[in-house]
Structure 1
Amino acid sequence: MKFVAFERAKQGTGASRRLRISGKTPGIVYGGDTQPQLIEIDHNALWHALKKEAFHASVLEMEIGGAVSKVLLRDVQYHPFRQLVQHIDFQRVDAKTRMTMKVPVHFKGEEESEAVKIDLNLVNHVTTELELNCLPSDLPEFIEVDLSGLKKNGTVTLKDIKLPKGVKWVSHGKVNPVLASAVSPAAEEADVPAEGAVAADAAAAPAGKGGKAAPAAKTPAAKTAKK
C-alpha cells in the first residue's frame, strides 16, 4: 500500500497547530541508519487510509519528493473527541532485518462447523491479532483461521494452525493461546434446573403410598397457658 508524504521544515506546538488548521497532519519517520525525518500528510487522505486494515498491519510504501521507502505504521494519536489525527509515527524497514508486527486474525468456516450447525453453539473470537516476527517480505497482511472443524464446546488454539514460512509468533510467555472457542448458548443452560433446587423440592415433598407425594406435616397449634 502506497501513500504520499511531504518533508516538514518547522516543528513545535505552534507549527503543528497551524499545520492541522491547514488540513495536514504532522508526523515523523525514524529507524535505520538515517536520522529521524519530520513529515506532513494530507489529513483527509490519511483519515481514509487509516480505515483500511492493511495500513495498520503491512509494509507500506511512503513517497517523499519522488523517493520511495518502506515503512511500518507505529503510532497514531487521535483527538479526544474530534475526528482528527493529531500526529502519526512511521518506522523505516530494512529488507534484511527481522521485524516484529501485530497482524489481525481473520476467521472463516464457523457457520459450516458441527458446533454451530448441529449443536447451535456460539463462537467466540478470543484472539483477534497476533504479534509476529519475520522479514519484511514475509509479513502476512493477516492470519486466516479455519473454524469449519470446530466441535461442540471445542477450541482452536495457535498450535492448531500453521503460520506462513519464515514467520514466528512472539509469545510473551504464553504457551498456546486460544484463538476461538465454541460455547453452548445461555438459553440452554437456563432451561436446566439447578441441582440444589431439585434436591430441595424432593426433600420438601417425599413420596407417599402409590408414588404420590405425601402432604406436608401439620404444625401442632400452640397451647394456651392456664392462669
Structure 2
Amino acid sequence: MTEANFVLAAEPRKEEGRRNSRRLRRAGRIPAVVYGDGKPAESISLDVFAAYKFLGNEQVYSNVVTLDLGVRKESVLIRDLQMHPYKDEILHVDFMRVHQGELVTLNVPVHLLNEQNAVGVKMGGGLLHRALTEVEIQAPVGKLPEAIEVDVRELQVGESIHLSNLKVPANVVLVALKHGDDKEVVSIHAPHGAASEEEGAAAE
C-alpha cells in the first residue's frame, strides 16, 4: 500500500454531448465524469498530456485520486477508461467519488515474485503459465493494496496456485472466493516434449 498522493487537475464543463466532446478533444482535452457518494454526476475535462502521463502509472488504479477542480477537490477512484476502437487514444474517463473507510470493489494487478527462480522452471524445465493478471478485490478506501504479490519460488512442475492460496492484507477480500470460485492464478506445466513422453509411457 502506498502513501503517495495522486493529484490530477481537472476543469468543470457545462456543455455535453458528442459534438462538444469532439470539440474538447480537438482542443487537447479529454471529457470525463465524476459520480457517486450521493451527489449529482458532474461533467469535467482533463488536459490530454497531463492525463496520459498520470494514467500511465499503474498505481493510480488502486489508489484514491484527488481531482483538483481549482476551488475544491474531490476524492475519487478511476472506474473506467473508454478507449478508441483502434487508436491508442483515451476518449472518456469515469471517476467515482469515495470517502475514507468506504468499502469498494476494484481490480488490482497480480505481481509474480521469483518467476525465473521457480523450482519447476529453473530445475524442472517447466513452463510458467499465468492464468490471471489481475484479481477483483473488496476493501475499505485507505486499505487498498496496489497489487497482490504471489511468490512462485517453490512451485514445482504440475503444481498450481489458486486464489485460496494467496496471502492478502487484512480487510481485503477476494471477490471470486466469496462466490466459491477458487480460480487458478499461476501454474507450471511440463515441457510439451516431456508431457508427450509421459503420456506414451502411461499408454504402454
Tell me if TM exceeds 0.5.
yes
Q: Which has the higher contact order (CA 8 A, sep 6+)?
A: 2
Q: Is 2:93 the counterpart of 1:82?
A: no
* 8 Å CA contact retained: 1:110, 1:150: no
Tell me what 2:195 maps to: 189
Letter in 2 for 1:12: G
Q: Given the alignment, which residue of 52, 71, 74 partners 1:69?
A: 74
CA–CA separation in structure 1 for the residues paired with 2:52 and 2:170: 33
* 8 Å CA contact retained: 2:33, 2:44: yes
Q: CA deviation at 1:173?
A: 2.8
Q: Is 2:144 the counterpart of 1:139?
A: yes
SS at match of 1:15: helix
Structure 1, residues 158-210: CA drift from partner, whole Å, max 9, x if none? Answer: 222211011111126343221110101113335568469x97xxxxxxxxxxx
Structural RMSD (CA): 2.0
Q: What TM-score do you get using the length of structure 2 for normalisation?
A: 0.88
CA–CA separation in structure 2 for the residues paired with 1:193 and 1:106: 33
Taking the TM superposition and a 5 Å limit, the aligned residue runs for 1:157-168 are 157-168=162-173
CA–CA separation in structure 1 for the residues paired with 2:195 and 2:160: 19
Which ranges of structure 1 fall in alignment gaps of 5 or more residues? Answer: 200-227
Q: What TM-score do you get using the length of structure 1 for normalisation?
A: 0.80
SS at match of 2:181: coil
Aligned length: 198
Q: Given the alignment, which residue of 129, 150, 175 partners 2:181?
A: 175
CA–CA separation in structure 2 for the residues paired with 1:37 and 1:82: 27
Tell me what 1:207 maps to: none
CA–CA separation in structure 2 for the residues paired with 1:72 and 1:61: 9
SS at match of 2:39: coil
Tell me what 1:106 maps to: 111
Tell me what 1:202 maps to: none
Q: CA deviation at 1:49?
A: 2.3
Structure 1, residues 7-40: CA drift from partner, whole Å, max 9, x if none? Answer: 1121122211111110101110000122111100
Q: CA deviation at 1:61?
A: 1.6
Tell me what 2:3 maps to: none
Task: Point out the structure with the larger strand share.
Answer: 2
Structure 1, residues 68-113: CA drift from partner, whole Å, max 9, x if none? Answer: 2211111111122233211111000121321111111100113222
Larger Rg: 1
Letter in 1 for 2:74: S
Q: CA deviation at 1:58?
A: 2.3
Which ranges of structure 2 fall in alignment gaps of 5 or more residues? Answer: 1-5
CA–CA separation in structure 1 for the residues paired with 2:126 and 2:155: 10
Q: 1:193 to 1:62 in 2, by over 3 A?
A: closer
Q: Given the alignment, which residue of 39, 42, 50 partners 2:55?
A: 50
Range with greater deviation from structure 2 (113-122 or 169-178)? 169-178
